[in-house]
Chains A and B, each alone.
Chain A
Amino acid sequence: MSNKQQANLLEVRGLTVDYLTEKAKARALENVSFKVAQGSILGIVGESGCGKTTLMLALLRLLPQAGRIVAGEVLFNGRDLLRLSENDMRSLRWQDLAIIFQGAMNALNPVKTVEDQITEVLLRQNPNKTSAAKRVDELLEMVGIGRNRKGQYPHQFSGGMRQRAMIAMALACNPKLVIADEPTTALDVMVQAQILELLLQLRAELDLTILLVTHDLGVVAEVCDTALVMYGGVIAEHAPIDAIFNAPSHPYTQALLGAFPDHTKPKTQLLSIPGYPPKLDALPPGCRFAPRCSQVIDICQLKTPSLIKVSDGFASCHLLETL
C-alpha cells in the first residue's frame, strides 16, 4: 500500500494553561489545538512572551510551579499524556520524548565531563556500563564531536559544541519526538547552519519528529514542514510553510513577514508592527491582535475568533469567517 499520508504522532486538543501569581491568574495558553505528522518538523514562531516555551513545557508536563494545565488533551501515539501517572510520564519523557531547553547549552554541569553527563542519562535507562560507553561514542559521532574530546569539560567547548552535546544527550534514548526550544538563537549564523543541518540529517536517519521553537522566520522557511504562528497565547495560524510564506491567511502572519529582513530583497522596506503584544493580565476583548491589526473590523473587538479551516491550514481571524 502506498500511503503517503503519515499518521499523527502528536495531537493537542484544547490545551489551556494558567500561571498563578500572587495577584492574579494569567491565562498563558488558550484552547490550543494542532496535530503533528510522524517524521515532520513543526516550527513554532511568535513574538517574545506569546507562550512558545509554555506550550512546549505543558506538552511534557514540565511547567514551573506557578503553571497549571486547566483543560485539554495531549495525545501522543493516541495516548493522553495528561492522564498518565507521574511515573509513567517520567519514563516516557526520556524514552520517547526529549527536550532541548531554551538556553540549554549553558545548562551543562560545569564540573562533570561531557562523557560523564551523557553516560548518566544512559545509565538511568539501562545500567549496563559497557553498552553505555559504546553508545556515548556513537552519539558523539552522530552529532560531530570527536571521541578525543569526550573527556573534556563544558567550558572547553565552544557554544556550538555545547549545543551539539545537548542534542546528543537528548537523543541518548532514541526518542520519537524531540522538542528544541530556540536551539540556535545564541549562536553565530555559521554555527546555526551546522546545527540545523545536523537536525535535518538526524530527522532523516532516525525518522524523528521535531518541534522547533524559534523567532527566526528564516529558520522556519529553511527547515520546517509546517509552522504554528502564536500570538498572545492562542494560535493565529497553523499551515504548511508554503502557505505561511506565500499565502499567509492571518493578518499577524502577514505583519510578521513584512517586518522580517530578507537579504535577497534588500530594496523592500521593513514594516514594523505598531504597538506591543498584549499583557496576559490585561487581554483586550475579542481578538487579541485587534489593537495592532491594520485590517480590523467591528466584530474583532467584540468576539474572539475561533480557529477555522482555511485552504491549506487553520487560522483564527474574523475576516476569514466572513469570506
Chain B
Amino acid sequence: MSLIRVQNLHKHFSLSSGLGKNLVVKAVDGVSFELEKGEVLALVGESGCGKSTLALTLMHLEEASAGQVLFNDNDITTLKGKALKNLRRDIQMVFQDPYESLNPLMTVGAIVEEPLKVHGLGKSKSARQEMVKKALEDAGLNPAESYLNRRPHELSGGQRQRVVIAAALVLEPSLVIADEPVSMLDVSIRAEVLGVLERLKLEHSVAMLFITHDLGTAAHFADRIAVMYLGRIVELGETQDVLENPQHPYTKALLSVIPVPNPKLRRKHIILQGDPPNPINIPGGCRFHPRCPVAIPTCSKQEVALKHININHKAACLLLDHSA
C-alpha cells in the first residue's frame, strides 16, 4: 500500500479579469503519482509550473478542484474537522524561506513546542520539553539546551532552517513536504541541511516530497524524480534513470542547462527560447509543443498521457512511440 496516492488531481483558480470575463488559472491540471513510506520524490520544473500549488493542495490548504488524494487509503480532499487536524499532524511542510517562517519574537523552544500545543500532545510541560529537545537534536541542533532560549535572529540561516525542520519533526509526521528547503542557503550549509533530511528518511522512514528547481540537488537526494510542466507531470522515474536516460524533450532540455561544476563537461545546451507559457492559456495537444525542439505536426493536435518506458519510468511524449 502506498503512503500517498494522488489521482488526477486538479487545482484551478478563477480570476476575474475586470472585464466581466472569468479567467481560469490551471495551476495543477491532472497530476497522478504515488509515494511509498520512507521514499523521497523530487518534484522539479520551472517557476510557475504548479509545484507549490500541488503541495498546498496535498496538504488540503487549498481545496482540490477535482481528483483524489489518498493518504493511507483515505481520501483527504473531503476531510473536515478533527480528521483534517489529524492529517495536518501526519503531513508536515517545510518552506523555502527560513527568515519568514519563524516568529522573531518567540524562542526556539517555544517555536518547536507550539505544534505540540496546537495538537494537544505531550502530557505535561516537561514531557513536551523532552519531545522538543529530541526534535532539535534530530534536526542536528546539538546540544538542544543551548538553543532553547535563543531567538531566530541569533541563529544562522542553516540553523534557522533546522529549527523549521525540528518544528515539523516534533509531530512525528510520516510525510514531509519540503518546498525549496535549501535554495536560500549557501552551498556549504545546504549540504548540511540535506544531510539532516537524509537522516530523517533513513532513521525515521519519513517520506518526502522534495520540491526544487535544482535538478542537481534532486540528483543527490531523491529516490525518484517527477518533472512537471504547466500543471502536469511529464516524466517520472528513478533518479538515475531520469538523469542518465531522460525521455521527454523537456527533461532533456532542462538537464542540458543545469550548470555542471566541471569545465571539461561543457555540453551542448538545448536552450528553450521565451518564457514558460501561461497556465491561463494552456496550448492544445501536447502542452509543451510550442517550445519543443523536436515537435511534429501531430503534437499540436493530440493530447499525450504518461506512458511506461520501463516498469519504473514513464514519460508523456508522442515521439516515444516512434522510437520504441
Checking B46, B191, B194, B258 against A263 with a beta-carbon cut-off of 8 angstroms, the contacting residue is B258
Chain A CB count within 10 A is highest, among B188, B213, B266, B269, for B188
CB-CB contacts below 8 Å: B186-215 with A: 186-192, 194-195, 213-215
Shortest beta-carbon distance from B76 to chain A in Å: 31
Residues of B within 8 A of A262 (CB): 216, 219, 260-262
Given known A160-B275, A190-B254, contact A221–B259 (CB-CB < 8 A): yes
Binds B, one of A87-95, A238-246, A280-288, A298-306: A238-246
> What residues on A are CB-neighbors of B158 within 8 Å?
276
Q: Contact at A270–B191, with CB atoms within 8 Å?
A: yes
Give residues of chain A (142-168) contacting chain B, Cβ–Cβ below 8 Å: 158, 160-161
Contact with B along A192-226 (1 / 0, CB 8 A): 11100100000000000000000111111110000
B47 touches A218 (CB 8 A): no
- Of residues 176 through 193 on chain A, the ones whose CB sits less than 8 Å from some CB of chain B are 188-193
The verdict on A264 contacting chain B, using a C-beta distance below 8 Å, is yes
Q: Which residues of B in the span 261-291 have a Cβ within 8 Å of any Cβ on A? A: 261-266, 269, 271-273, 275-276
Residue of A nearest to B196 (CB): A272
Distance in angstroms from A201 CB to nearest chain B CB is: 11
Chain A positions within 8 Å of B186 at CB level: 47-48, 215
Interface majority SS on B: helix, strand, loop or mixed? Answer: helix
Chain A residues contacting B191 (CB-CB under 8 Å) are 258-259, 270-273
B107 contacts the other chain (Cβ, under 8 Å)? no
A78 on the B face (CB < 8 A): no
Q: Complex formed: what's the CA distance from A216 to B214 in Å? A: 11
Q: Decide if A218 touches B263 in the complex (CB within 8 Å).
A: no
Q: Check B189 against A272 for contact (C-beta < 8 Å).
A: yes
B165 to chain A, nearest CB (A): 15
- Cβ of A256 within 8 Å of any chain B Cβ, yes or no, is yes
Query: Cα distance A132–B65 when bound, in Å?
Result: 52
In the complex the two chains form, what is the Cα distance from A160 to B274 in whole Å? 9
CB–CB B266/A222 < 8 A: yes
Tell me which residues across on chain A come within 8 A of B273, comparing CB atoms: 194
The answer to whether the Cβ of B239 comes within 8 Å of any Cβ in the partner chain is yes
A interface footprint on B234-264 (CB within 8 Å = 1, 0 otherwise): 0000011001000000000111011111111
User: Counting chain B CB atoms within 10 Å of each CB, which of A189, A258, A259, A264 scores highest?
Assistant: A189
Is B275 touching A255 in the complex (CB atoms < 8 A)?
no
Minimal beta-carbon separation of B223 from chain A (angstroms) = 11
Number of interface residues of B (CB under 8 A): 44
A191 to B219, CA, bound (A): 21
Identify which of B192, B216, B240, B253 gathers the most chain A CB atoms within 10 Å of its CB. Answer: B216
For the complex formed, measure the closest distance between the CB of B221 and the CB atoms of chain A, giving whole angstroms. 8
> Which one of A188, A260, A266, A269 lies within 8 Å of B187 (CB-CB)?
A260
Judge whether A17 is part of the interface by a CB distance below 8 angstroms: no
| B contact residues around A197 at 8 Å (CB) | 269, 271
Tell which of A194, A242, A266 touches B263, judged by Cβ atoms closer than 8 Å. A242
Q: Does A261 contact B (CB under 8 A)?
A: yes
Q: CB-nearest residue of chain A relative to B222? A: A266
Given A48-B186, A266-B239, residue A191 in contact with residue B260 (CB < 8 A): no
In angstroms, Cα B46 to Cα A130, docked, is 40
CA of A47 to CA of B188, assembled, Å: 8
A257 contacts chain B at the CB level, 8 A cutoff: yes
Docked CA distance A266–B194 (Å): 14
Q: Judge whether A266 and B257 touch: CB under 8 Å.
A: no
Q: Would you call B257 and A192 a contact (CB within 8 A)?
A: yes
Chain A, Cβ-Cβ closest to B190: A259
* Interface residue ranges of B72-110 to A (CB < 8 Å): none
Q: Is B217 an interface residue (CB 8 A)?
A: yes
Question: Which residues on A sit within 8 Å (CB–CB) of B243?
Answer: 263-264, 266
Determine if B156 is an interface residue (Cβ-Cβ < 8 Å): yes
Interface string of B29-48 (1 = CB under 8 A from A): 00000000000000000110
* Alpha-carbon distance A227/B302, docked complex (angstroms): 48
- Taking the nearest CB of chain B, how far is it from the CB of A242, in angstroms? 6
User: Contact string, B156-189, partner A, CB cutoff 8 A, digits 1/0?
Assistant: 1110000000000000000000000000001111
* Interface residues in chain B, defined as those with a beta carbon under 8 Å from any beta carbon in chain A: 46-47, 156-158, 186-192, 194-195, 213-220, 239-240, 243, 253-255, 257-266, 269, 271-273, 275-276
Binding site for B on A (CB under 8 A): 47-48, 158, 160-161, 188-194, 197, 215-222, 241-242, 245-246, 255-264, 266, 268-274, 276
Can you list the 5 inter-chain pairs with the closest CB atoms, starting with the nearest? A218-B259, A272-B192, A261-B216, A193-B257, A272-B191
Would you list 13 pairs from A and B whose C-beta atoms are within 8 A, ordered by A residue?
Answer: A189-B46, A192-B257, A193-B269, A197-B269, A222-B259, A245-B263, A245-B264, A256-B187, A258-B191, A262-B216, A264-B260, A266-B239, A273-B188
